Structure 1
Amino acid sequence: MVVRSTVHTTAGSGSTEGLIDLAIDLGGEPETASAYHQLPGVLGKVRRSVRFLAPVQFDVLRQYRTDVTERRYRSREVPRKAPVRLTRGASATPHGTEPAILFGVHWLELGGAERFALETIKLARDAGFTPIVVTDRPSTHPWITRSELDGAVVVPLTLPTPPEQESAFLNGVLSAYDVRGIHLHHSAWLAQRLPWIKSIRPDIPVVDSLHILEWRTGGFVDISVRMTNVIDTHHVISPMLRDYLIGKQGIDPARVKLATLANLTTGSIDHTTQVSESHGDVFTVAFVGRFTQQKRPYLFLQLAAALKDSAPEEVRFIVHGDGELAGEVHGLVARLGLLPVLELRGPGQPVSQTLADADVLVISSDNEGLTLTTFEATAAGVPVVSTDVGSQASLIAEDLLVPRHPYPFISTAAERIRTMITSPEQRKVWLDEQAGKAAAFAALPDARTWVRDTYEGWLS
């Protein structure tokens, strides 16, 4: 095949200087590689092989490592960046007249933080702002066509970016628009540039929305604590995060705002179909989530295989999602003999339909903040069996909180689900406890209302 480029290079005429990179799209669906697929060297090859040949056994080792890391993390203080000391005011930097909000977003893919980010972008647009949305993670950004982004300026960054290009970009944004505020949604790149922004525009308020503690790496909460001197408000979605920032890290309570996502995604759920009995002749167990290492869909499939062999009556399964581990999920479904009893559903199908078909939802994650699917399941009248991670205890019935270590998770979750199958009365008791916790949580301040009021304050 001979390819002729119509792109002219401006480089020199030397034999190597005149070459330019040329990318050819050969078609086909985009594929996302997990972090394990990208591990370099011999050691990386060994880890990759073990991870995909024995995912559950590999996860056992990961969880023991998490135990050690969590104990160490809980006992340490996170260092802070020094506050900005420059005295230049906003008048030192001329800016445009069109009011805007600068958003830092991880990526435009399925996820709880991303769903909330899109909602805040819509609220900004409705309030009269131009949303400027910057993403900093490699992605095909399947949500980039969503209606919430209509009228927004979307900039998917490709990192690393030369410092001179970064400063030119940020200077351009601050000069072309009247940026009234910055809202971070799990954006490491923008968080790390806050000291520079605050040095030239100290008048711009900064809000950082946090969802989850990540013990192995520190994650976005760690970054937020390090940058707390250039962040005006830490928005958290759970009491656990509030207590961690105030009690452990010593952040001023006046700068930590608890506002929950309890009602963010439950609007499409039919609240009139609260049920306590099985939805049909066959008891249905569902998984809803991204196919990632964090969500551990392979562990749900191992649970499904255990229930297939041990349930007191016929049982079927729904796995609803997509992601970087899709190939592994499809392979395990066949290898574990689940094809006759398991249905795979993609992100194009509504989650509300899966919940309408389910008798129980299982959350197998090894870490979470507070899952939106738990709120959705509660609204649909579906009990949830969840790993005891993050703030899930705020919503899940106590008996349905199960260990995150793989083998105890499988055995305990299977036992609870078998009880639901044989005892609809006990299933209702657990569902009522879950609904009571969700109602108490919904009485806390609402994130959407708080963000709307905050943006209106920025506009005035």
Structure 2
Amino acid sequence: MTSESVSGLAALYRLTHSEEIPADLSVREKRLLDGALNFHALMAPGRRLQLYFYDGTWESLPRLTDDSSFNGLSRAFRARLFDAEMESLVAPEERVTLPAEEESIHLAGQAARHLHVSRDDVIAYDPPRHIPTDPLRRVARAIRARTPLMYDEVRDVELLRHRRSYTARAVRRNYAAEFAPGGVHDDTRIVPASPAPDGAVKAVLFGLHWFELGGAERWAFESVRIAREAGFLPIVLSNRDSHQPWISRQELDGALIIPFSEATVLSQTAGIEELLRAILRTFDVRGVVVHHNQWLYDRLDWIALSRPDIPIVDSTHIVEYRGGGFPLSSVLVDDAITIHHTISPKLAQWMTETQGVAAEKVVMAPLGGLTVEPGDATFRHRVPGAPFTVAFVGRMARQKAPEVFVQAVHRLMNSTVPMRFIMHGDGEMATWVTDVIRGAGLEGVIERRTSAIPVAATLDEADLLVVSSHNEGLTLTTLEAIAHGLPVISTDVGAQSDIIPTRGLVSRNVHLAVRQIEKKVTWLAEDETARELLWQEEHAAEQQLTRHASASEWFAREVSAW
């Protein structure tokens, strides 16, 4: 049933006229193209399609699966580059269609598909979703760069109105009632997927947020690798617009990858689920794993009805202050989920005590060893005569509060102890962080490093890791810094206190955090004994945590039973 794709992996399509497709596509570009063609092969089973490919700029995110890719009705499709043709190798489904499917059938019935695969040079830019184009927004961004902590204070006040959404017990979703007469979807009904054929390829379906840098993504990619090594075909869906810079990662080798472009809405009828039903009747899906993918969360009840005997696992990291985030999405469809995997004791406690999830359905298995081999951790003493090196390791994203670290560095410039500062990471707010650093007069003081440099290299040079986040689960960088022999100070957020003792914690309030980080960094720079004692206490807490099976060990056992 499968053929070779443009990236050399198995595919659900056959290109019949592909002479114009550029021969110099990178691995990332090929995998984006594969994803689009596999998606449309599943959506147009057994058919031939004309393919139109379009140019774009650094502001043009890939257009691969969204509704406009069926009809071309988007400003993204302004300059056509080349054409091709493909044949879907997916077997058609014989069934009676419903009136509610009319819009989806109309879209899928189009003879052509319109696609934009962004070239690799866009990776040098911040994602366009975070680049303000309106002049007033540009002014607001500049003001935020000059006074970032005031913005954070205002934002925290605004977040107070969302507190009840994650501290109160959520009302579970009643999926069947939504499709009952008078329900949300009373114009349609649930149509479960038909069985897969005998001998179908055994697969595990994964839902990821996107293919970008992050601790959650590192663990998601590791779980894909584990499933592949267990003998399954990983089918990996993402649901967030992105240039997908990490789609070329080795962990995804051999997977069937479908990176969504939003909004993939009209092509997917509630209760029918055209894409998922095509996957379920084409492959012998033995399990479903959700890593921060809202599109898949919304469809878990339908999957459970279609395949009641397969396990459905979700993995969550952090309760968001605005609405609860993915753990709350998980709780809302608890009836469909077999196992809730959490990475920290505090999140497991929130699941069971606050949200009333049955304790036997919650597994706590921490992350670790995904970027640094822990080995036998020993405290790393300072290099004699070297400056005290303070590191920030994380995405350049609002959650990680890089502006708090920058402002703390500004205060530490008055220290009598020679210091060096490293900010390691990239992300959607990288150029804004540059603005903040420039606004604080710290150009040339803070050394910037991207993810092209291994985290281990930065930890090798650091004497202290600072976690300045607005919100967290239990950070992967905390575990790996401790395993690497250096202590951590952190804002008192999420489950960080599961590892960091009180004397290593600072307030979440940004102004207090900046002052307290300054004091604690100075204290540890001046007192090597205190720095070692802090590490010893954190290492003991980490050892206590790692007595539990790691996430990788737990998942390898889990998937072996599928």
Amino acid at match of 2:392: F
Q: For the structure 1 residues 175 and 51, does the alpha-carbon distance in structure 2 shift closer, same or farther, using more than 3 Å as the test?
A: same
Deviation at 1:36, TM superposition (A): 5.9
Alpha carbons of 1:25 and 1:110: their partners in 2 closer, same or farther (altered >3 Å)? closer
Distance (whole Å) between structure 2 residues aligned to residue 35 and residue 6 of structure 1: 27
Question: In the alignment, which residue of structure 2 is the partner of 1:55?
Answer: 148
Q: Which of the pair is proportionally richer in helix? A: 1
Aligned to 2:240: 137
DSSP-derived class of the 1:319 partner:
strand
Q: Does the 8 A contact of 1:284 with 1:317 survive in 2?
A: yes
Q: Offset of 1:266 from its aligned partner? A: 3.4
Q: 2-side partners of 1:69 and 1:318: how far apart?
A: 34
What is the CA-CA distance between 1:39 and the residue it aligns to? 9.6
Paired residue secondary structure (1:159): coil
Q: Residues 158 and 436 (structure 1 numbering): CA distance in 2 closer, same or farther, change over 3 Å? A: same
Distance 1:3 1:426, change over 3 A: closer
Structure 1 residue 262 displacement after superposition: 3.6
Deviation, structure 1 residue 293 = 0.6
SS in 2 for 1:429: helix
Residues 452/304 of structure 1: CA separation in 2 closer, same or farther (3 Å cut): same
| Residue 336 of structure 2: aligned partner | 230
Amino acid at match of 1:302: Q
Deviations 1:94-135 (A, max 9, x none): 346211000000011111111111111111011000000000
Letter in structure 2 aligned against 1:64: V
- Counterparts of 2:266 and 2:246, CA distance in 1: 28
**Equivalent position amino acid for 1:305 in 2:** H
CA distance in structure 2 between the partners assigned to 1:163 and 1:105 by the alignment: 21
Q: Is the 8 A contact 1:397 1:431 kept in 2?
A: no
Deviations 1:309-363 (A, max 9, x none): 2x12211100111111111222233332323332111110011110110111111
Letter of the 1:244 counterpart: W
Structural mapping, 1:341-356, within 5 Å: 341-356=445-460
In the aligned structure 1, how far is the partner of 2:383 from the partner of 2:535?
12
Map of 2:304 onto structure 1: 198
Cα distance change of structure 1 residues 5 and 284 upon mapping to structure 2, 3 Å threshold? closer
| Unpaired runs of at least 5, structure 1 | 10-19
Compared with structure 1, are the counterparts of its residues 287 and 4 closer, same or farther at alpha carbon in structure 2 (3 Å cutoff)? Answer: closer
Are 2:533 and 1:439 aligned? no
Return the alpha-carbon distance in structure 1 between the equivalents of residues 236 and 80 of structure 2: 36
Alpha-carbon contact 2:127-2:242 (below 8 Å) kept: no
Structure 1 residue matching 2:288: 3-state secondary structure: strand
When normalised by structure 2's length, the TM-score is 0.73
SS at match of 1:145: coil
CA distance in 1, matches of 2:115, 2:175: 44
SS of residue matched to 1:142: coil
Question: Deviation at 1:152?
Answer: 0.4
2:243 & 2:262 partners in 1: Cα distance?
14
Q: CA deviation at 1:260?
A: 1.4
- Residues 268-417 of structure 1 correspond to what in structure 2 (within 5 A)? 271=376, 274-278=379-383, 280-309=385-414, 311-417=415-521
**SS state at 2:400 partner:** coil
The residue aligned with 1:215 is 321
SS of 2:289's equivalent in the other structure is strand
Q: Say which of 261, 269, 278 aligns to 2:367.
A: 261
Q: Is the 8 A contact 2:166 2:319 kept in 1?
A: no
C-alpha distance 229-58 of structure 1, shift in aligned 2 (>3 A): same
Q: What residue is the counterpart of 2:162 in the other structure?
A: 69
Distance change in 2, residues 1:216/1:50 (3 Å): farther
Deviations 1:388-426 (A, max 9, x none): 000000111320100111110010111011111111111
Aligned in 2, Cα 1:169/1:320: closer, same or farther, shift over 3 Å? Answer: same
Pairs within 5 Å for 1:79-118 = 79-82=171-174, 93-95=195-197, 97-118=200-221
CA contact (8 A) 1:108 1:141 kept: yes
Task: Report the CA distance between 1:158 and its aligned residue.
Answer: 1.1
1:36/1:48 contact within 8 Å kept: no
Residue 33 of structure 1: how far off its partner (Å): 4.0
Change (3 A) 1:232 1:39: farther
Q: What is the alpha-carbon distance in structure 1 between the residues aligned to residue 117 and residue 480 of structure 2? A: 42
Contact 1:276/1:431 (<8 A) preserved: no
Asked whether 1:123 is paired with 2:216, we answer no
> Sequence identity of aligned pairs in percent?
37
Letter in 2 for 1:436: A
- Aligned residue pairs: how many? 443
Structure 2 CA distance for partners of 1:336 and 1:279, relative to 1, 3 Å: farther
- The residue number in structure 2 matching 1:157 is 260
Please tell me whether the aligned partners of residues 311 and 337 of structure 2 are also in contact (alpha carbons under 8 angstroms).
Answer: yes
CA distance 1:22–1:142, shift in 2 (3 Å): closer
Pairing 1:186–2:292 present: yes
SS in 2 for 1:29: helix
**Counterparts of 2:555 and 2:119, CA distance in 1:** 43
Q: Normalization by structure 1: what TM-score? A: 0.88
User: Is the Cα–Cα contact under 8 Å of residues 377 and 485 in structure 2 kept in the other structure?
Assistant: no
Structure 2 unaligned residues grouped into runs of 5+: 1-77, 86-112, 180-189
Q: Does 1:239 align with 2:349?
A: no
Q: Aligned partners of 1:384, 1:169: CA distance in 2, in Å?
A: 45
